[in-house]
Structure 1
Amino acid sequence: MKISIITVCYNSEATIERTIKSVLAQKNVELEYLIIDGASKDGTLGIIKNYAEKNPCIHFVSEKDRGIYDAMNKGISMATGDVVGILNSDDYYASDDSVSSIINVFGQNDVEMVFGNILYVKNNKPYRYWKSRKPKTFKFGWMPPHPALFVKAEVYKNNGVFRLDCGINADYELMLRFFEKEKLSSFWLDKIITCMEAGGTSNNGIKSRVAGIKNDSLAWKVNGLKKHWYTVIFKKLRKIPQFFVLDKKLPI
């Protein structure tokens, strides 16, 4: 089973090399690595080219886009793998068997999506642990961590890609559509798959948080779904325990 990993980047010279190395370190996988650069103005493209010259599994484009989710959609359209995973340019896989463990689950279960857990890292130390747990309704605030979600390519073909009109919460809308509206089959792998730098686009600043709440509501509306009045509140409350379940032995 072939897997396509997509990394979207822009001016990411400080972190992109670690991300690339973590992908190339994956063992026992048939890998296609797609890097979608938004015409970076720093040294990002030079780093990408250096690795692409030595690793034929890497394919990249560098051009202006309409934002992170537009770039992700470009990557999805380029992907030739049976399964697609997305790894942000400042994130990295927790171990060299992160991807193979996901592929094994697909091989052993007839499911359309597999997701694991993620570890947020801050100043090179474990900061927050998102243990997703088995699928539940989004109405009570449950959702899987997008950086640890892997989807069969046919799912995107049949159910669409990221909606750009949902702004910084386009990943939430996509997962809401796949899990809640379409009720696609999935499997939770209780394993830390991805390490994520704390402080992503949807987590920074009051304006981003307000925009996120509005886009959450929009995600339900465009899918013809009705959320409870407390859905957004529960979504926020579910994050609190993630700060208190850290283990010193967790990988970073």
Structure 2
Amino acid sequence: MKISIITATYNSEKTLQDTLDSVLRQDCSDIEHILVDGASTDSTVDIIRNYASTTDRYTVRWVSEKDHGIYDAMNKGIAMATGDVIGVLNSDDYFTSDDVLSRLIKPFSDAAVEAVYGDIHFIHDKKPEKITRYYSSKMFSPFWLRFGFMPAHPSLYVRKAVYEWVGFYKLDYKIGADFEMVVRMFHVHKIKAHYINMDFVTMRNGGASTSGVQSHKLLLKEDVRACRENGIYSNTFLIALKYFYKIFEFRI
């Protein structure tokens, strides 16, 4: 069973090599790595080109052209993907261990399983050995969507067939299109998923949806909108309750 990994890049020269190296270390061989670059102006494309030309363990496909942001890039990657299962690995993140893909692909041997997800953790860029936050997806169920809680998006792997009837990421969301996609998948289309109690991905602090007061305000607004557009009752207060839960995720 082939896995397609989508990595969106834009001026990612400082972190991309860690991402690529973590893919190379995976003990799963049937991999298609799709890199969608937004016309970077640094050395990102050179790193991608070298990676594509020297990696012979699996298929590497890439494109570099202007786009409309990360969700547009993800949509391009989904359209390009030929794997049975699709996941996203951001260009400043990397797989936590070498057996992530081989572990997550096993539940898909059950034809009823349409998605698999696990846990992730965050680090300080200068202290990669120190965990600042651990995001467990263990408690997730569709009921918790009204509170803004979702499986950790970088750990979510979905059959390509699901995207064919659920559709693509909505580009009129600035930072909440991943949550809206999850609401569509789990609430509207009621996909069947399997949780693995495993740390899939190491993320650096400072992503678009986790940095700054304004980004949190926008995310609250977009999460409420995602629920309402997909038939879930929610409001700003209910969504904001997730920040209370997040207190217990942080590590001192």
Please state which band the TM-score falls in when normalised by the shorter chain: over 0.9
After superposition, where does 1:121-132 map in structure 2 within 5 Å? 121-122=123-124, 123-124=127-128, 125-132=130-137
**CA distance in 2: counterparts of 1:178 and 1:42, whole angstroms:** 36
Q: What are the superposed Cα offsets for residues 18-48 of structure 1, whole Å, 9 maximum, x if unpaired?
A: 1011112111331000000000000100011
**CA distance in 1: counterparts of 2:66 and 2:225, whole angstroms:** 26
**Among candidates 106, 116, 124, match of residue 114 of structure 1:** 116
Establish whether residue 232 from structure 1 lines up as the match of residue 239 from structure 2. yes
User: 2:76 maps to what in 1?
Assistant: 74
Q: 1:19 to 1:229 in 2, by over 3 A?
A: closer
The alpha-carbon deviation at position 100 of structure 1 amounts to 0.7
8 Å Cα contact 1:120-1:198 kept in structure 2: yes
Q: 1:6 to 1:171 in 2, by over 3 A?
A: same
The alpha-carbon deviation at position 203 of structure 1 amounts to 1.1
Paired residue secondary structure (1:187): strand
User: 1:51 maps to what in 2?
Assistant: 51
**CA distance in 1: counterparts of 2:80 and 2:30, whole angstroms:** 16
The alpha-carbon deviation at position 211 of structure 1 amounts to 1.1
Sequence identity (%):
44
The alpha-carbon deviation at position 79 of structure 1 amounts to 0.1
**CA distance in 2: counterparts of 1:41 and 1:5, whole angstroms:** 23
Q: 1:60 to 1:192 in 2, by over 3 A?
A: same
The alpha-carbon deviation at position 217 of structure 1 amounts to 1.5
Establish whether residue 139 from structure 1 lines up as the match of residue 141 from structure 2. no
Paired residue type of 2:78: I
Paired residue secondary structure (1:203): coil
**CA distance in 2: counterparts of 1:229 and 1:76, whole angstroms:** 31
The alpha-carbon deviation at position 180 of structure 1 amounts to 2.1
Paired residue type of 1:111: V
User: 1:38 maps to what in 2?
Assistant: 38
Q: 1:172 to 1:232 in 2, by over 3 A?
A: same
**CA distance in 1: counterparts of 2:238 and 2:48, whole angstroms:** 41
Query: Which deviates more from structure 2 when the two are superposed, residues 49-58 or residues 133-142?
Result: 133-142
Establish whether residue 220 from structure 1 lines up as the match of residue 222 from structure 2. no
Q: 1:230 to 1:29 in 2, by over 3 A?
A: farther
The alpha-carbon deviation at position 225 of structure 1 amounts to 2.4
**CA distance in 1: counterparts of 2:31 and 2:93, whole angstroms:** 18
Structure 1 residues without counterparts, runs of 5 or longer:
247-252
**CA distance in 1: counterparts of 2:149 and 2:210, whole angstroms:** 17
**Among candidates 92, 95, 98, match of residue 93 of structure 1:** 95
8 Å Cα contact 1:113-1:185 kept in structure 2: yes
The alpha-carbon deviation at position 93 of structure 1 amounts to 0.2
What is the aligned length? 245
Paired residue secondary structure (1:174): helix
**CA distance in 2: counterparts of 1:229 and 1:208, whole angstroms:** 14
Paired residue type of 2:3: I
Paired residue type of 2:93: D
Establish whether residue 170 from structure 1 lines up as the match of residue 172 from structure 2. no
Q: What is the TM-score of this pair, normalised by structure 1?
A: 0.93
**CA distance in 2: counterparts of 1:94 and 1:33, whole angstroms:** 17
